[in-house]
Amino acid sequence: MKRIKLNLLFTSVLALLIFTGVQAQEFYKVQSNNSKLVVSGTSSLHDWEMEAADFSAETLVKLNDNVVSEISRIEFTSPVSGLKSGKRIMDNKTLEALKEKKFPEIKFSLGNTGEVNLAGEKANLTGLLTIAGKTKEVKLAVNFDVQNNQRFLVSGNVPLKMSDFGVEPPTAIMGTVKTDDELVVSFSLEFQKSSDQFTENF
């Protein structure tokens, strides 16, 4: 009887600890109106950049004393059609290169297979990035600016190569203008605490 009671007590304590750990992480959603994501690169003619006009993101985060102490999930999605340069020809070339009709979304996911290394206001994340239907593991360094337990900012720069995702760098004017393979994704995102639930099929 004592052994049964001890087992029940142990199980109850363990369940409470697990429940407390899960509850400690809060759900946050990106505020796109106060956020910015820019893709920039170079070509044989001039430098270029495109801004994501539409994107969504959500994450599970634990904050302690205005510092991010845990991250367990991140899901980011941006429609390819939302990338805008202000130049119609370049926009069309980008949609074609990224195979927008077949793969309309760019996605980043930090789930059970991702890695998180936190160090104060900085973190190194390893997740899966999907572009033009091809998924690759990417590493990114980010900076946090925690305003309070309701709001925090995330910023960083991620160097990428188009060819790593099977994307052929766009060309123009009968191939005389060539886009370089390397590009940089720069972002500054604002997240607000939300009463919503994490979207499992995000």
Q: State the pTM of this model.
A: 0.82
DSSP summary character for residue 85: -
Lookup: tokens for 197 = 């639930």
**Neighbouring residues of 198: CB distance < 8 A, sequence distance ≥ 6:** 27, 58, 60, 73, 75
Q: At 12, is the pLDDT very low, low, confident or very high (cuts 50, 70, 90)?
A: very low
Whole-number pLDDT of residue 172: 65
pLDDT tens profile 27-80: 999 999 999 999 999 988 789 999 999 999 999 999 988 899 999 899 999 999
Q: Tens digit of pLDDT for each residue in 102-127?
A: 999 999 999 766 799 999 899 999 99
- The yes-or-no verdict on residue 3 having pLDDT over 60 is no
Is the pLDDT at 23 greater than 50, yes or no?
A: no
Q: What is the pLDDT of residues 166-189, one digit of tens each?
A: 999 987 665 557 889 999 999 999
Highest mean pLDDT among 7-21, 119-133, 188-202: 119-133
Q: Which contacts qualify for 157-161: CB closer than 8 Å, 24 or more apart?
A: 157/184, 157/185, 157/186, 157/187, 158/184, 158/185, 158/186, 158/187, 159/183, 159/184, 160/129, 160/184, 160/185
61: Cβ contacts below 8 Å, ≥ 6 apart: 25, 26, 28, 68, 70, 71, 72, 152, 191
Strands 105-110 and 56-64: unpaired
Residue type, 82: G
Residues whose CB falls within 8 Å of the CB of residue 121, separated by 6 or more in sequence, listed in order: 67, 68, 143, 144, 145, 146
Q: How many residues does the chain have?
A: 202
Domains recognised in the chain with CATH numbers: 25-193 (2.40.128.110)
> What residue type is 33 in one-letter code?
N
Express each pLDDT in 70-93 by its tens digit.
998 999 999 999 999 999 988 999
Q: Return the pLDDT at 15.
A: 44
Q: pLDDT tens digit string along 141-160?
A: 999 999 999 999 999 999 99
